[in-house]
Homo-oligomer: A and B are copies of this chain.
């Protein structure tokens, strides 16, 4: 199904408007403004005036030739008539962005059901109504009323549009990119399972993350994630984990919230990630998006801040992570690069004067050593001795680049998220950073969990 939605050739926007105070305008602008767009656009508007220099049609039926995808933005009361036109035009897919249907009252439920049946009879697939829309970053399609993230490898599915918009802000801040985005609203036809299957086939998508409140057709959904997870990790945040949260969720989407423990055990059994705190969401995405899966579970830590590696160690133990024992060979490779006071243990505390060169040399030694599977170069940015704000991080990245990024590296820059230099360097180098010992430890855990998942399925297949 979903190639109709994510890869249309000819798109009609019905209810396009130049009035910036209307939702229809947002979607229209989001599509028209995209410079990488490589599909044709046709605007339908009763006003018949050009929008952004593009002519408009009074009805989709007036557009010459075939239309793949119709995006409907007209008010709820006008939707059914427009759908009838789309059926006459034999479009392949419809996205109904407009709200005011089943989420509101029984009348709305009846109406959306009637639309669903009509479209089914005409073999037309439908997303929505009451949805934010979809995005395909590959072809410059932002058929939604929210901002689009940068292009990347994350396929995103969210049952809450606004929460999805917020996650995109967090992704932008973390230098994370998306391949596809989908919010399906009341789901009178296309389901999350279908989108998941599409993401599974999509070569641009490497990681899948979802925000869910309810799961309909549970068996289909769970068999679907079981299919996907060997190819692509799936991260799930569940809204409505508690009774209070479930009540809020039911009032929010109008559908009964799914039991958390049930979902949790199903996702985890399939080898997916259940993310309890949304701050962990970006941490897990950063870990998976920027790193290969490690070959083993031994962590090597270097730092200029003893206190920070103490806090990392605490968190590491809580997650059952293992610290590498440094061999004599590794120690002899490190020794020339650090001052005499440095004790040759893991975590390796290079003390506050350590600069780019030390970070580069020691990170590289660990990345090249068989003793270590994941390197965590940690630092507190030191405001003295003419040390530059981003130089520790520069050293880490240089070492990682020169060793071909073959091992996971988890840069821990304690509380440095407010330094614009760090964000600029991340962007320039296509890298990322973690800002608390907790985040760094969680990132290690996420990568090791994925390694253990593959180990387990390999053993099961023997």
Task: Give bound CA distance, A251 to B244, whole Å.
Answer: 46
Q: Is A31 an interface residue (CB 8 A)?
A: no
Q: Is A396 an interface residue (CB 8 A)?
A: no
Which B residues lie within 8 Å of A241 (CB)?
A: 314
Interface string of A159-176 (1 = CB under 8 A from B): 111111111011011000
Q: Is A146 an interface residue (CB 8 A)?
A: yes
* A 1-31 contacts with B by CB, 8 A: 20-23, 25-26
Which B residues lie within 8 Å of A49 (CB)?
A: none
Task: Give bound CA distance, A244 to B316, whole Å.
Answer: 8
Which B residues lie within 8 Å of A316 (CB)?
A: 244
- A70: min CB distance to chain B, Å: 21
- A356: min CB distance to chain B, Å: 15
* A 152-188 contacts with B by CB, 8 A: 158-167, 169-170, 172-173
Interface string of A79-103 (1 = CB under 8 A from B): 0000000000000000000001000
Q: Is A262 an interface residue (CB 8 A)?
A: no
Q: Is the CB of A242 within 8 A of B318?
A: yes
The stretch among A35-43, A190-198, A344-352 that forms the contact with chain B is A344-352
Partner of A244, one of B160, B162, B249, B314: B314
Q: Is the CB of B382 within 8 A of A163?
A: no
Which B residues lie within 8 Å of A251 (CB)?
A: 306, 343, 345, 349
Closest to A103 in B: B341
Partner of A169, one of B162, B277, B381: B381
Task: Give bound CA distance, A241 to B319, whole Å.
Answer: 13
* A 357-387 contacts with B by CB, 8 A: 380-386
Task: Give bound CA distance, A166 to B383, whole Å.
Answer: 10
What are 12 contact pairs spanning A and B, CB under 8 A?
A20-B386, A26-B385, A162-B305, A163-B414, A166-B416, A169-B418, A172-B418, A240-B314, A242-B317, A244-B316, A251-B306, A252-B307
A residues adjacent to B (C-beta < 8 A) = 20-23, 25-26, 100, 104, 145-147, 158-167, 169-170, 172-173, 211, 213, 237, 239-245, 247-249, 251-253, 277-279, 304-311, 313-314, 316-318, 323, 341, 343, 345, 347, 349, 352, 380-386, 414-419, 436-438
12 more CB-based (< 8 A) A-B contacts, given A160-B306, A169-B381: A21-B386, A104-B341, A145-B384, A162-B380, A239-B314, A242-B313, A245-B310, A248-B309, A251-B343, A252-B306, A253-B306, A277-B436
